[in-house]
Amino acid sequence: MLKTSMSLILFDFDGVLADTLNDMLKFAQETCDELNVRHTVVQTDLSELKIMSFATFGRACEVPENLAGEFVRRCTEKFAKKKSPPEIFDGLREVVKKLAKEHVVAVVTGNTTGNVNAFLLHHGLADFVRAVYGVDMPGSKVEKILRAKNQFAAEDEMVAMLGDSISDVRAAKEAGVKSIAVGWGHQSLKMLMDAKPDAFINSPAEILDVIGRLEI
């Protein structure tokens, strides 16, 4: 059960809240084709990244450095133009709503703030997430975690970051917050476990319990 004390719970977006794997592979391939990059996009281009971002994804897809920014812009634009936002992983809508009753919930992501807000609105979660720190905002993921921590968490309150990549785990550790790795996202399981997160979960149903344990 959740404790009555408030905590700050930060979610990564792609691969944690939003099931974007197929879209990311599809949009990356379309963008490579548009930029005349001769590369066939495969899942390992994404799952074996040491730093999970659209920019590093582009580099894994052999996008030249001078086109990296354009790759990011086109991929995030394709998400924005998609007729409907990505699906949410099963069970997460209910978990986020339950968390928001007793804790502050926010999103720290390599996607754009607009894309995340459209997703939250579509899935009925706009009123349950207090802030979104997107790629369009200045600063690294570590800096955004610290910004959220300074904005929403008191000194004695627990802060946890849920992510699906080793870069999420490392960012959480560098920011001095708890790291929860999720097993349903984009990163390969071996790479994720090698990062030594504070906790690992296989399904959204485990989130409430693991946060309760980390608070003790």
**How confident is the model over 14-57, as pLDDT tens digits?**
999 999 999 999 999 999 999 999 999 999 999 998 888 999 99
The SS3 assignment for 41 reads coil
- pTM for this prediction: 0.89
The CATH number of 8-19+86-215 is 3.40.50.1000
Q: Tens digit of pLDDT for each residue in 171-191?
A: 999 999 999 999 999 888 888
Query: Residue 4 has what pLDDT?
Result: 44
**CB of 161 closer than 8 Å to CB of 10:** yes
Q: Tens digit of pLDDT for each residue in 112-171?
A: 999 999 999 999 999 999 999 999 999 999 999 999 999 999 888 899 999 999 999 999
CB atoms within 10 A of CB 73: 13
**CB of 179 closer than 8 Å to CB of 158:** no
Q: Enter the tokens of residue 48.
A: 């074996």
Whole-angstrom Cα distance, residue 163 to residue 179? 8
Is pLDDT above 50 for 3? no
Query: Residue 214 has what pLDDT?
Result: 87
5: confidence class by pLDDT, cuts 50, 70, 90: low
